[in-house]
Amino acid sequence: MANIILVGSQWGDEGKGKVVDIYTEFSDVVVRFQGGGNAGHTIVIGDEQIILHQIPSGILHQNKLCIIGNGMVLDLETLTEEINLLKQNGYFSDNSQLFISEEVHLVMPYHRLLDVGKEQKAGDKKIGTTGRGIGPAYSDKINRTGIRFIDLFDKHVFKEKLELNLAEKNPYLVNQLGQAECDSQELFEKFTALGKNLRPHLANISVKINQFIEDGKNIFFEGAQGALLDVDHGTYPYVTSSSTIAGAACAGCGIGPTKIDGVVGIVKAYSTRVGEGPFPTEQHNEIGKMLQEQGKEFGATTGRPRRCGWVDTVALKHAVRVNGFTSLALTKLDVLTGMEKIKICRSYRLDGREILDFPANIKEVADCEPVYEEVEGWNQDITKARHNEELPPATRNYIKILQELLGVEFILISVGAKRDDTILLKNPFEL
């Protein structure tokens, strides 16, 4: 048995959904431990594309258990829609597949209104959120005014918390942000009904997961977003509102760090980010446009085009350190096919000096000039490769340089969007 964490190493959108889908074959339980409906994990099975936002990607496999951890913030309205869509497409036929933490905090309609209103008011200083209410929901959690899933099943507790929240938020929504007022009774009735429908999934997931560990189950912890969007270790304030790094898995589902056996980091073969914030290797040219088009770089949640650039090993080494990666998975390598030359950022130049560590100062990150190494590209189609030796020499060289710079082994290489377009070098559950 093994307990493995998988997290993104860049600004999210590294292709985690596909890798989780592959590794789910070897696991018994898949756990989402942070984030919310602002995440979008895209999985291609045959000719079918499925996008999941809150339910762990393991739900597409029969006989696999999926857990929504307490570290998430959960939108019950969109969760219900996601469940219905999965069932319509022939998935999630067994309701016992899904457990939802009784302690998970809820995203309420007023959180979405606050999110949108604040972004509109910020103008050109906006963060670039998805507008899904994630930040305001986490704010309420930290302020100790949040509503948890378990609260829905005590009408007195739920009603009191709801009324206290609306007494504070409605005046701000209307008078400061120009948003609509929320009706307490309407929300009480709607969420009481949503809670009733989802109650069969309610569970103490800390007890569940620790029991699964004692039973010798393989457990896979699935992160959302990426290390550079971490609220502590990312490009603050242009980050998400939760901790996206591997250490958050323990707090986000109620297990101790001694239970973890390995951490897999997902590395996209180039760099992308959605929303605002500094991006040293971004390409405002034909290279950036080509990466965006060939990589189909549009947000799974919002549809927003992603900003694109060369791979950045300064930022990646920062992710390696703060996550403690024991292995890496390289994704979207096929997108680089057809490029005559490929650049790898090895260091930054800042104020006339070369630096190797990712700065905490957001202005310094914006002022950093990438120092590149240029390597040969390749024209051969690599999507049919299933073994490392089947890749062109230039492709293998690119992988070798990245692995040497990062100091961590690649155990999976994705050469296309489909599940089978993969070179699986090692199984993390058997390391």
Q: Which residues contact 292 (CB under 8 A, 6 or more apart)?
A: 298, 305, 306, 308
Do residues 164 and 184 make contact, with C-beta atoms less than 8 angstroms apart? Answer: no
**233: three-class secondary structure by DSSP:** coil
> Which among 21, 28, 41, 151 is annotated as catalytic?
41
Largest CA distance in the chain: 67
Q: What are the beta bridge partners of residue 331?
A: 268
Neighbouring-strand partners of residue 68? 32, 100
Active site residue 53: no
- How many Cβ atoms from other residues are within 10 Å of residue 8's Cβ? 29
Report the distance separating Cα 133 and Cα 110, nearest Å.
8
Q: CA nearest 64: which of 33, 95, 27, 20?
A: 27
**Chain centroid to CA 76:** 19
The dihedrals phi and psi of 52, each to the nearest 5 degrees, come to -110, 145
For residue 227 the two structure tokens come to 């290390």
- Give me 141's structure tokens: 């959690």
Which residues, in sequence order, are bridge partners of residue 374?
343
Contact 213, 202 (CB under 8 A): no
Q: Torsions phi, psi of 181, nearest 5?
A: -80, 145
As a whole number of angstroms, the distance between CA 25 and CA 323 comes to 24
What residue ranges in 121-223 does DSSP mark as E strands? 202-203, 219-222
Q: Which of 13, 21, 115, 312 is catalytic?
A: 13
Closest CA to 203 of 80, 96, 82: 96
Catalytic residue list contains 13: yes
Query: What region does 122 belong to: left with phi over 0, alpha with psi -120 to 50, or beta?
Result: alpha
List, by residue number, the catalytic residues: 13, 41
